[in-house]
């Protein structure tokens, strides 16, 4: 897969190592090329507008937006594009509940597909993006089906 199909954006550098790195690593496992940028709806709104313009021009197919606290990044991104936007609420002083509610509670008309808080949500955002991409990209579909076939084997039968 030559071109970048997914754009990962996050509100802060602090969202990377414990959370969004897992999203990027999951996309890498499937060979899905992607952009990674620190962009905040509040701190860098001009950067967000430019990123979306470029994403549309460069035929990015899914945007994953992660943010914590008053997490408006995914919602504002979704308001500026018709590309599918997946939201990852990152952990915070309130254990990510603030981030979850501000990402998930979108008013009707502008949807954000919100995943779980933190690492699980970051990995699932990548897998959800892969699932969307698999509709148009046969090689990705084949890899996703293989991953699912092998998934059960990774779960131990005993807890010890």
Contacting residues toward ligand RP5, per CB under 6 A: 10-12, 14-15, 40, 67-69, 90
Hey, is 50 helix, strand or coil? helix
Hey, is 155 helix, strand or coil? coil
> Which of 18, 25 has the CB closer to ligand RP5?
18
φ and ψ of 100, to 5 deg: -60, -50
| Closest CB 49 distance from ligand RP5, rounded Å | 17
> Which of 68, 113 has the CB closer to ligand RP5?
68
> Which of 119, 143 has the CB closer to ligand RP5?
119
Q: Can you tell me the distance from the alpha carbon of 150 to that of 127, in angstroms, rounded to the nearest whole number?
A: 15
| Closest CB 10 distance from ligand RP5, rounded Å | 6
| Closest CB 11 distance from ligand RP5, rounded Å | 2
CA 80 to chain centre: 16
Residue 66 sits at the vertex; the CA angle it makes with 43 and 5, to the nearest 5 degrees, is: 110
Q: Can you tell me the distance from the alpha carbon of 120 to that of 126, in angstroms, rounded to the nearest whole number?
A: 10
| Closest CB 82 distance from ligand RP5, rounded Å | 24
């Amino acid at each position: 897969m030559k071109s970048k199909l997914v754009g990962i954006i996050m509100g802060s550098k602090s969202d990377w190592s414990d959370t969004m790195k897992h999203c990027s690593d999951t996309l890498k496992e499937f060979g899905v090329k992607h952009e990674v940028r620190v962009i905040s709806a509040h701190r860098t709104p001009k950067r967000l507008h430019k990123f979306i313009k470029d994403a549309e021009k460069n035929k990015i197919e899914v945007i994953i937006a992660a943010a914590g606290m008053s997490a408006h990044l995914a919602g504002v991104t979704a308001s500026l594009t018709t590309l599918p936007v997946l939201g990852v609420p990152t952990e915070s002083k309130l254990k990510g509940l603030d981030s979850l509610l501000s990402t998930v509670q979108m008013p009707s008309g502008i949807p954000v597909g919100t995943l779980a808080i933190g690492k699980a949500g970051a990995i699932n955002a990548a897998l959800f993006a892969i699932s969307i991409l698999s509709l148009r990209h046969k090689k990705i579909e084949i890899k996703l089906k293989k991953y699912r076939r092998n998934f059960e084997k990774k779960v131990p039968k005993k807890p010890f």
